[in-house]
Amino acid sequence: MNVFVKPDDQSQTCLRFGMARKGRMKSNVFVKSNDQSQNYLRFGMARKSRKKGNCFSHVTMLCILAFVTTLSALASSPPNDVWQSHARNVDEALKRFVSAIDEYGMQVNGVSVIQHGKSIANWWGKDVEASVLLDQHELSATVTAMAVGLAENEGLLSLDDKVAGFFPDLLPAQPSANLLAMTVRHLLTMTTGHDKDTPCSQGDDWAENYLAQPVPHTPGSYFYYDPMAGYMLSAIVQKVTGQSLPEYLHTRLFEPLGIKNIEWECSPQGISAGGWGLHATTQDMARIGSLLVQNGKWEGQRILPRKWVRQMISYQTASCPRDVRYEELSQSGLNLYENDWIQGFGYQMWHCRSGLVRAEGSNGQLLLLFPEFDAVVMINSEAEQMASELALAYLHFAPSIPDWRGRKENRGRTQTRHHYLHYVNSHL
């Protein structure tokens, strides 16, 4: 019998001889019984107990479980006065951000900050109410990726399934080898082999138009951000579930998160656009982001598989900006330490400098994740210069987001803040 106990992710605390220590261990405590009924109790190192039988190990394990549960609860439940002070600091940072972005002529529709699953700061633009559904543009694809993960968890598809296999009747007469090699995973990571936008959202059948486009590169070898990949993911989910994205996600995602109203643009076939076209409130999008930094849980309920969330936000492939061709990246003069579009890509998620992760829409929609601090900042604006918005968001929120336990920015984050400050001073 092997029993493993792991502390709550938020506490990031492991037990060693009854002492709390920061860090992570995959197997902090375990009890093992062999044929000779020898019991082993391990706190980071093995200790042997020569007592026979299971009584000692079972009682000890119950005590340890109770201690870990209590410790985790304390770690995730700050005192009210400390939490209120922290929330005020974040709210002041939000106000400074709005003032700064307004000074540079960018319109903000709404901002919402959630940490540890709690809403701690919100702001709404002029003539914008909290209940207004706002266009999320390409940020929509992140929600589509969640649907793919749920369908995979239910055994309805595999990431290695060939895209052509879902649409045999829509393939061109002589499909290329690259088209036939394209998989669901390639759609998620924007490595389909295309090197330019596929203008397929016109005409009778968007999926058929997409499959008719040339695929000049071997899938998996070439990154190019194309929103139509999100549409194809939506079409695949609808094919295997028999439901549109809003229908499929209603009871699996939206309802558990308390999201009561969304709209999603559709193709003539009634397939949600997937890569764009989701309309939702700023607060609801912040909840979706909070679900990611909490490893797929919301208010203690498992909504997304933890493994899928880790895959979504983890580095999956190299990336480059949309206005730079992949083969031109080395000649573009872009500095790895000063550009947020060449830090890597997950499943419809971009990596930022110093470990942050984001989803974004082309017109100023920014979902900025602070996984280390279980926090998310959702911004909906009318800013075409995403680099400027991201720089201002980081400069104002990064110093205040570190959580109520007093952890500060690490050295890498401080250096990144200096890079953003230099960008703002140089470009705005």
Q: Report pLDDT digits (tens) over 292-320.
A: 999 999 999 999 999 999 999 999 999 98
The partner residues of 42 in beta bridges, in order of sequence, read 30, 46
Q: How far is CA 100 from CA 106, 343, 362, 392, 428, in A?
A: 9, 26, 20, 7, 10
At 428, which CATH number? 3.30.450
One-letter amino acid at 322 equals R
Residue 11 lies in a domain: yes
Work out the percent of the chain whose per-residue pLDDT is above 90. Answer: 55
Nearest CA to 389 among 381, 401, 377? 381
Residue 145 lies in a domain: yes
The predicted pLDDT at position 10 comes to: 39
Say if CB 111 and CB 339 are below 8 A apart.
no
* Cα 34–Cα 37–Cα 42 angle in degrees, nearest 5: 70
The predicted pLDDT at position 32 comes to: 38
146 and 120 co-located in one domain? no
- Dump pLDDT digits (tens) for 153-184: 999 999 999 999 999 999 999 999 999 999 99
126 and 149 co-located in one domain? no
Find tokens 């997937």 and name the residue: 274
- Dump pLDDT digits (tens) for 71-95: 444 445 566 767 788 888 899 999 9
- Cα(161)–Cα(159) distance, rounded to whole angstroms? 6
- Cα(250)–Cα(321) distance, rounded to whole angstroms? 33
273 and 142 co-located in one domain? yes
- Cα(207)–Cα(231) distance, rounded to whole angstroms? 8
140 and 276 co-located in one domain? yes
- Cα(423)–Cα(412) distance, rounded to whole angstroms? 17
Which residues lie closer than 8 Å to 5 by C-beta, 6 or more apart? 15, 28, 29, 30, 61, 64, 65, 68
65 and 108 co-located in one domain? no
Residue 369 lies in a domain: yes
Which of these three, 246, 280, 314, is where a domain ends?
A: 280
Structure confidence at residue 33 as a pLDDT band (50, 70, 90): very low
Structure confidence at residue 399 as a pLDDT band (50, 70, 90): confident
Q: Which of 80-89, 264-273, 391-400 tops mean pLDDT?
A: 264-273
- Cα(403)–Cα(17) distance, rounded to whole angstroms? 27
Residue 294 lies in a domain: no
Tokens, residue 179 = 């088209």
Which of these three, 280, 307, 338, is where a domain ends?
A: 280
Alpha helices (H) in 341-410, listed in sequence order:
386-397
> Phi and psi at residue 390, in whole multiples of 5°?
-65, -40
Residue 407 reports pLDDT greater than 90: no
In this prediction, residues 347-352 reach a mean pLDDT of: 95
Which of these three, 251, 280, 309, is where a domain ends?
A: 280
The predicted pLDDT at position 238 comes to: 98
Q: Which of 22-36, 119-133, 255-269 tops mean pLDDT?
A: 255-269
- Cα(178)–Cα(145) distance, rounded to whole angstroms? 23
The predicted pLDDT at position 15 comes to: 32
The predicted pLDDT at position 385 comes to: 81
Residue 312 lies in a domain: no
Say if CB 374 and CB 10 are below 8 A apart.
yes
Residue 160 lies in a domain: yes
The partner residues of 207 in beta bridges, in order of sequence, read none
In this prediction, residues 210-234 reach a mean pLDDT of: 96
Tokens, residue 330 = 């080395």
The predicted pLDDT at position 87 comes to: 87
Mean pLDDT of the chain: 81
64 and 120 co-located in one domain? no
The partner residues of 111 in beta bridges, in order of sequence, read 123, 379
Residue 242 reports pLDDT greater than 70: yes
Q: Is 144 in a helix, a strand, or coil?
A: helix
More confident residue, 345 or 57: 345
Per the structure, the count of domains in the chain is: 3
Structure confidence at residue 202 as a pLDDT band (50, 70, 90): confident
Residue 205 reports pLDDT greater than 70: yes
Structure confidence at residue 382 as a pLDDT band (50, 70, 90): confident
Residue 69 reports pLDDT greater than 90: no
- Cα(63)–Cα(216) distance, rounded to whole angstroms? 61
The predicted pLDDT at position 51 comes to: 42
Tokens, residue 131 = 């209940």
The predicted pLDDT at position 198 comes to: 84
Say if CB 62 and CB 77 are below 8 A apart.
no
Structure confidence at residue 267 as a pLDDT band (50, 70, 90): very high
In this prediction, residues 116-134 reach a mean pLDDT of: 91
In this prediction, residues 218-230 reach a mean pLDDT of: 95
Residue 54 reports pLDDT greater than 70: no
Residue 249 reports pLDDT greater than 80: yes
Ramachandran class of 210: left when φ > 0, alpha when ψ lies in -120 to 50, beta otherwise? alpha
Q: How far is CA 351 from CA 321, 336, 414, in A?
A: 12, 12, 17
24 and 89 co-located in one domain? no
Which residues lie closer than 8 Å to 385 by C-beta, 6 or more apart? 106
Residue 203 reports pLDDT greater than 80: no
Residue 300 lies in a domain: no
Q: Dihedral angle at the C-alpha atoms of 115, 120, 121, 124, nearest 10 degrees?
A: 100
Residue 116 reports pLDDT greater than 70: yes
- Cα(17)–Cα(29) distance, rounded to whole angstroms? 10
144 and 276 co-located in one domain? yes
158 and 239 co-located in one domain? yes
13 and 127 co-located in one domain? no
More confident residue, 387 or 146: 146
- Dump pLDDT digits (tens) for 95-110: 999 999 888 888 899 9
28 and 150 co-located in one domain? no
Residue 277 reports pLDDT greater than 60: yes
Report the predicted TM-score, pTM, of the whole model to 2 decimal places: 0.79
At 175, which CATH number? 3.40.710.10
Residue 82: domain span: 78-132+325-428
User: How many CA atoms, within 13 angstroms, populate the side-chain half-sphere of residue 403?
Assistant: 21
The predicted pLDDT at position 26 comes to: 38
Residue 84 lies in a domain: yes
151 and 230 co-located in one domain? yes
Helix axes 140-153, 306-313, angle to 10 degrees: 140
More confident residue, 290 or 55: 290
Nearest CA to 360 among 259, 417, 276? 276
In this prediction, residues 232-246 reach a mean pLDDT of: 98
